[in-house]
Every structure is written in C-alpha cells, then in structure tokens.
Amino acid sequence: MNIYLVGGAVRDQLLNKPYKDKDWVVVGATPDELIAQGFKQVGADFPVFLHPQSQEEYALARTERKSGHGYQGFSVDFGKTVTLEEDLIRRDLTINAMAQDENGNIIDPFNGQADIKSKTLRHVSNAFSEDPLRVLRVARFAARFHHLGFSVATETIALMKQISESGELTHLTPERVWVETQRALHEQSPWIYFEILKQCNGLKDTFTELDALFGIPQPEKHHPEIDTGMHSLLSLQQASFISGDGDVRFAALMHDLGKAKTDQAKWPQHIAHEKLGLKPITQMCDRLRVPNQYRELTLKTCEFHTNIHRAFELKASTILKVFKQCDAIRKPERFEKLLQVCQADAQGRTGLENAPYPQANYIQRMLNACNSVNNQDIVATGVKGPELGQAIEQARIDAIQKQKDKENINE
C-alpha cells in the first residue's frame, strides 16, 4: 500500500499559495484493508475513507470509463492493481494531476509543473471530454488563476467546444451547474468564468438568458462598449472590485436580462427593460434552483436600478415609493447591496470604470432621513386607524424632502 498527496494541495504548494484541504490517494489497497486500519468509508459512488485521526479524505486509486450521459455516467474500477498514473490520467487539468509521495517527491507524469511555469490550464488527456462538468470546472479555474496570468490552452478550449456542441451540458443537473457557478462567483476574477463559457459555446446551455444578451446593441452615448453581453461582464467585473458577496456579483451580471426582450425595432433603446427582465430572471433562477438571496437581490436590482441612477431627479414621494417597493426600511442590508450593484452597473462601461457614483450615498442619506421618523411619536399624537399609516408616510416624505432641501442648499 502506497499513499500520495494529490490534487489541489500539490498544485497550490508549487504556486506558493496557502491551502487547507488535503486529498490523498491510496494505491494497492482494498476497502477492507483500510477499514481494518480504522478508516471510515463515506463514499457512495466509489470508496472514499476518512482518516481515523485527521479526518482527511483518502480515496482508492481508480479508473473511470464513460457509460452514460452527464458527469455521473461512469463505471468505476478501484481494484488493487490500479496504478497512480492510471488514477492521475483521469483528472481534468495537468496542474491538478500531480502527486507527492511521503518523502516530498513530486510525481508529475503529465507535465503539470511545466504548465504552472507557463501559466497554462491544459487538459490531461482526451478522457477530459467524457465529463461535461469539466467545461465549468476549467472555466472556474480560469477565474481563480486569471490574476496570476493563467489562460486556457487553445486545444483545451477546442475540446470544451466539442463538449458544448455535443449537447452534453444539458445532462448536467441544475445543482451541479449552480455549485460550480456559485464557487466561480467567489473567485478573484469571476467574470472570466462566464467569458470562458461564452468562448467555448457553453453559455447557451447553462445560462441561456445571459447568452441572449450578446450581440444586442445599446446606445453608444451611454454605453461605449455597445454590446449588452459585454456590459454584463463588465458590470460583474466592477462588482467583484466592490464586493466579495456572491449575490452582489450575480445581480450585477444578470440585472439587464430584459434587454433581450425589448422591441428590436426600437434598438438600441431598451424601453421598459426593467420590467421585461423579471420573467427571464425568474425562469433562470427556477431552472438552476438559485438561492432566494441571489434571486431576490437580482429581481429588485433589475426592477429599480434605473430609479437609483436617476435618484437626483426623483421627488421625495417617489423616493419613499422606491424604498417601500425595495423593502429598504425592513431590509437595509439588502438595499445597501442593491446600491453596490447599481454602482457596478454604472461603472461597468468602457471608459467609465472609475467614474464617481454619488447616487449611492445620496439615496442612502435619503433612507437615513426616512428612518429618522419615530413612529411612536406619531402614535402618541392620538392618530389611529388608516390615518396613522398616512401620517407615518407623510412624515417620512417630509423627512426625505427636508434632507433634499438641505442638500440643495449645500450645493
């Protein structure tokens, strides 16, 4: 029996990056032999064992053969005769297909170290194309390592295109698509994930509604980048500089889905795209089982982002209406995230990346003024019934107007 450290821990050591998780491969053993040594079996599809002390995962070396559709359509062999190289060749990228023995020696049969030096994400073998999930995984690794200068090898992009065009991505479960996407949204350069999916034609079967935005024009005066799909990626890029929250980043990317539904005869204008975007966002979130936190922020941003952009033009009563419809008084944290998305939208335009966005602080001050109204003070006046609600609303409008007047004086 021989045990090797494999995968991300080996890769990240060579990249001088910190790592927490360690994965181990056991060569020349059976499940019974590991169990006899105190390991606990936890794998359902193939034997994975938890070490009795460290609780780290140990997997028997295995081979896989395609036997169906999707990422689960494999028959697995984990017999004692499976070699380390046979185990490593089934992995996705060369930089993930290295092992380290107990003496610290690197076993690198597929030149992963050379690809680390050249900053290349390259598939290990043609078996790569048997697992459609790898299209998303490679895109996610591209998002993770983009800031280090890594790019996807041309021949790997070509294989990813073959997988995408074969229709195999449609066999991925919504849960797997979302898990990879949510992880990608938290990488350092999440926009690269979607760029790579677009490049290999993988966006149409995963994020159909987003794919539909590419090629749709916007007014050059307001959007120098013109293409709506490009604007969506630029908005995600700006959101990733503003916030590390996945829901903020997702909402920035998806807030303009309605522009694929506007009247083509009126392009590059997109009248009422705020309302038109609600249905495709809902459809996408339903299909991929996107968490409510992501769904709700994206829907609110879609519907109200142009109101926030025009904040200086809004009457006090309209500002309060926006607050109520966004549930800003009850959910101030989510509203603050909505303002971050609006800033990312405004700055997600070519040449305007560093443009100030005073609307966010302005509308936040209006919300603070609105929240300064003490409902109990109004109750103490003896107002009751429907008149109480009207009195509270008027007090909030007056507080917002007072703040507006104050800011106008200061100008």
Q: List, for residues 117-130, the tens digit of each pLDDT value.
A: 999 999 999 889 98
State the pLDDT at residue 74.
Answer: 57
Say yes or no to pLDDT of 10 above 80.
yes
The per-residue pLDDT for range 328-345, each reduced to its tens digit, is 999 999 999 999 999 999
State the pLDDT at residue 67.
Answer: 58
Give the pairing type, strands 23-27 and 40-41.
unpaired
Say yes or no to pLDDT of 136 above 70.
yes
CA 138, CA 144: separation in Å to the nearest integer?
A: 10
Residue at 128 is within a domain: no
State the pLDDT at residue 63.
Answer: 85
User: CB count, 10 Å around CB of 31?
Assistant: 16
pLDDT, mean over the chain: 93
CA 143, CA 128: separation in Å to the nearest integer?
A: 19
Span 374-380, mean pLDDT?
A: 86
Span 35-54, mean pLDDT?
A: 84
Q: Total domain count for the chain?
A: 2
State the pLDDT at residue 202.
Answer: 97
Note the pTM of the prediction, 2 decimals: 0.91
State the pLDDT at residue 1.
Answer: 86
> What's the half-sphere exposure (Cβ side, CA atoms, 13 Å) at 400?
25
Query: Could you give the maximum distance between any two Cα atoms of the chain, in Å?
Result: 85
CA 24, CA 56: separation in Å to the nearest integer?
A: 8
The per-residue pLDDT for range 148-185, each reduced to its tens digit, is 999 999 999 999 999 999 999 999 999 999 999 999 99
Residue at 161 is within a domain: no
Which one is predicted more confidently, 62 or 101?
A: 101
State the pLDDT at residue 189.
Answer: 98
Phi–psi pair at 116, nearest 5 degrees: -65, -45
Residue at 329 is within a domain: no
For the chain, the straight-line distance linking the first and the last C-alpha, in angstroms and rounded, comes to 77
Residue at 71 is within a domain: yes
Residue at 380 is within a domain: yes
Residue at 76 is within a domain: yes
CATH number of the domain bearing residue 2: 3.30.460.10
The per-residue pLDDT for range 62-75, each reduced to its tens digit, is 887 765 555 555 56
Domain that holds residue 404: 372-410
CA 255, CA 250: separation in Å to the nearest integer?
A: 8
Of 115, 146, 161, the last residue of a domain is 115
Say yes or no to pLDDT of 273 above 90.
yes
- Amino acid making up residue 402: K
Give the pairing type, strands 57-60 and 48-50.
antiparallel
- Are the C-beta atoms of 100 and 107 separated by less than 8 Å? yes
Of 92, 115, 138, the last residue of a domain is 115
Q: Which residues of 184-210 are buried (b: 16+ CB within 10 A; e: fewer)?
A: bbebebbbbbbbbbbbbbbbbbbbebb
Of 115, 140, 158, the last residue of a domain is 115
pLDDT band at 194 (very low <50, low <70, confident <90, very high): very high
Residue at 203 is within a domain: no
Cα dihedral 142, 145, 150, 152, rounded to 10, equals: -10
Residue at 307 is within a domain: no
